Amino acid sequence: MAPDHTPTPPLVFTPRPSAPPPPSTVGVMGWLRANLFSSVPNTILTFLGAYILYVFLEAIISWALINAVWEAPNRRACLDAVGRSGACWPGVIAWLPNLIYGLYPKDQVWRIDLGALILVLWALPLFLPRVKSKIAIGLTAVLVYPFLVSYLFLGGEKGWIWMVLVAGSLATFFWVWLTAISEMRTGLPFLALLVRTLAGPDPIPERARLVRQLAWAALFVTALVIVSRWQLVEVPTRLWGGLFLTMVISGIGITFSLPAGVMLALGRRSSMPLIRGFCVAFIELFRSVPLITILFMFNTMLPLFLPVGVEVDRLLRAIVAVCLFAAAYMAEIVRGGLQAIPKGQYEAAAAMGLGYWQSTTLIILPQALKIMIPAIVGNFIGLFKDTTLVSIIGLFDMLSMARAVGEDTRWLGLFIEPFFFITMIYFVFCFAMSQYSMNLERRLGGGQRR
Amino acid sequence: MSSSTSTAPPRASFLNDAGVRAFVYQAAVFLAVTGLFYYLISNTITNMSQRNMSAGFDFLDVSAGFNIAFTLIPYREGDSYLRVFQVGIANTLLVAVIGIVFATIIGLIVGLARLSTNWLIATLARWYIEVLRNTPLLLQIIAWYFGVFNLLPRPRESIDWGGLFFLNNRGFYMPGPVPQEGFGWTLAALLVAILGAVLIVTWSNRRRRATGRIFPGGTVATALIILLPLAVFYGSGAPLTWDWPTLRGFNFVGGISVPPAFCALVVALSIYTSCFIAEIVRAGIQSVAHGQTEAARALGVKPSRTMRFIILPQAMRVIIPPLISQYLNLTKNSSLAIAIGFPDLVSVWMNTSLNQSGRAIPIVAMTMAFYCVVSLAVSGLLNLYNRRMQLTER
């Protein structure tokens, strides 16, 4: 047989395409099979769960939407129309302004809206991508904004102290937006940009400082001119209420509790026995009693503690109590963060020649606070929920307002609907906060993940 | 100056000496705090003398003169303020204990459901937790009270469970046991049985650790606790009768009854706290590395024993401390009872008694002392537990 000269093709392994996965493990059916119907008990559980979900959703939807009454002059009309099988929303709608603003005078409500708008505007640069001075802006939002807004809400006669504080606060607000705009357009903070345009790219430090001071002075004078032109009607705090009051109390509590908690935690870890003793006593006392007892205590005892004739506003008593309570809890959270920082960090900071405050503020606290973000936000959520307790000592927060609906003669006995409504408000706020903290944790934790 | 050589370190300024600074700071803080207290106390004394108030504890023997809607321990209208304080503590502790039991049971179930491989069950559990823990407890308590327990039918149309338990807008009614003569023997038997059970469990654990042989200590102990008192009970002629709640006139009489405020408080507290407990249980079980289960299986340990001897002890170490602090939170939160008029400590003592007697300082101090004692005692026990359970690190 003649040798076949045609060269045999080299043996090449050509893989056959892999078989598709069995249809029972992919797609909707596969997912259903794996997650809902993997075994007999699992299937039973699925049906049980589906039944519970159905009963629950059906009840809620038919009560809140399908059978609900949307327009009625009073509760009697609602009851005549659907009885108890449907919600009576007109009561909630009629009371909506009170649920949100409390008894704040109707013609002054724009001040609350303006305050909220300024907060949004103040915090907006924090979410803009090219703004670099986020820490400074964030700090001013927490530390400076309250002065502006507290005058806006309180109103009344301005003394010169108020005037200066409010003008300074407004000037800072201008600075925030000028900085945000200049950083987005040129990448430089506003003041640095101003220094460069007026004093050249490499100015002598004295001149640079002069430019900065003049810029601040100009901002301040502008603000002062604006501020001196408005005079707002005084709204006494006993008229404050609703969601607005809830926000005020929890906002002040949050603002105060973080720095105070940090100081208390540092004091508790201090090597000086007396300072440590005071901090431990304060923290343990406020953490071991319920908030309501502290509120009661301040409500009855604060007038006794102060000199004869000094009247303390009811709202102020509640705010003091909430702040101290929140600070004690925050201190324990921060302490947890401080303890989680490895000893090497302290030692390295000391080896670099940093003193106590430098190593604490530059090395330790940034790391500690980053670890504690979930717990800190959790504490904020707790504080926000706990502000409902002020209704017990007679302030008209959102919960008191919701209870007042059912005591209104037109809507007598209407309790479930307003409760349902404010439950949803509380839930939206708290849930948003907790989701945001998870998001923050994921973004900041990037360096920790391996 | 010239005498300082390179061997002797340059003398630091007196102001930079750490010891001196520490002393100065502490002295400053001490003076500030003392000054603050002096200021507050002197103001208080002036204020109190102006308003003719007194700070003494002598009012404790005075008759309080008001009635309390629900008391665990006997109380009559003429009893002293001290008795009111005791009634308040008893009611607070009752709510706390019952709430803790229910919260633990619900929390355990929801926590396990959250870990379920069944997607629907896990999702339901997740949303149960999210919704309930993101709304204020006070709102929940009030909603349960006004929205549920106050809208129940009147006593005549009570919700009836087998003629034993009744639920209506006046409260919850159940049969109450009335011990007859000789019932003490059963109680004694129960005590002996519990003691014996503890001994058996300790002994079997010790033997297991020493020899590896397993004795069903748990089963035997449970049997002992159930069977011994039962035997004594019937042996002594079943000396116990029941007081049945019966409808008479407009309401039920007899049996044990609790007011709607109590029901609302317990339900709201247990449901709210159960969310936190569920998350603790989930975190605890997830904290045990899966390798532990696999290692146990590789060694041939039975699944039931894997859970009992390997997973649970490790999970418990993570679960117990936050669980206890949730129990403490529940106890403190029970003070919200005041919003719905249940007579707990804060409500009868810090509110009613304070308003009646005007003795703000002793009353506030006693209330705070009670909560401080409870929470310091619990955290002391917890520290003891933590020290025992702490992992010994290399």
Q: Split chain A (450 residues) into runs of 10 and give each run's mean pLDDT.
A: 65 85 80 82 89 93 89 87 86 91 89 92 86 82 87 83 89 90 84 81 81 89 86 86 92 90 92 90 92 90 81 87 94 89 89 89 86 86 92 89 88 88 94 87 60
Select the residue of A275, A289, A308 nearest B26 (Cβ to Cβ). Answer: A275
Q: What is the predicted pLDDT for the residue at B100?
A: 95
- Chain B segment 277-336 residues within 8 A of A by beta carbon are 332-333, 335-336
3-state SS of chain A is CCCCCCCCCCCCCCCCCCCCCCHHHCHHHHHHHHHCCCCHHHHHHHHHHHHHHHHHHHHHHHHHHHCCECCCCCHHHHHHHHCCCCCEHHHHHHHHHHHHHECCCHHHHHHHHHHHHHHHHHHHHHHCCCCCCHHHHHHHHHHCHHHHHHHHHHCCCCCHHHHHHHHHHHHHHHHHHHHHHHHHHHCCCHHHHHHHHHHCCCCCHHHHHHHHHHHHHHHHHHHHHHHHHCCCCCCCHHHEEHHHHHHHHHHHHHHHHHHHHHHHHHHHCCCCHHHHHHHHHHHHHHHHCCHHHHHHHHHHHHHHHCCCCCCCCHHHHHHHHHHHHHHHHHHHHHHHHHHHCCHHHHHHHHHCCCCHHHHHHHHHHHHHHHHHHHHHHHHHHHHHHHHHHHHCCCCEEHHHHHHHHCCCHHHCCCCHHHHHHHHHHHHHHHHHHHHHHHHHHHHHHHHCCC
Q: What is the predicted pLDDT for the residue at B5?
A: 45
For B30-49, the pLDDT digits (tens) are 899 999 989 888 888 888 88
Give A-chain residues touching B271 at CB under 8 angstroms: none
Q: What is the predicted pLDDT for the residue at A263?
A: 93
Which of A423, A424, A437 to mutate against chain B (most B CBs within 10 Å)? A423
Q: What is the predicted pLDDT for the residue at B9?
A: 54
Contact B360 A304 (CB under 8 A): yes
Q: What is the predicted pLDDT for the residue at B317?
A: 85
Q: What is the predicted pLDDT for the residue at B2?
A: 44
Give A-chain residues touching B126 at CB under 8 angstroms: none
Give B-chain residues touching A388 at CB under 8 angstroms: 136, 138-139
Chain A nearest C-alpha distance from B168 (Å): 18
Q: Is A389 on the interface with B (CB under 8 A)?
A: yes
Which of B17, B139, B370 to mutate against chain A (most A CBs within 10 Å)? B139
Q: What is the predicted pLDDT for the residue at B279?
A: 93
Q: Which residues of chain B have pLDDT under 70?
A: 1-15, 390-394
Q: Is B120 on the interface with A (CB under 8 A)?
A: yes
Q: What is the predicted pLDDT for the residue at A194?
A: 83
Chain A nearest C-alpha distance from B22 (Å): 6
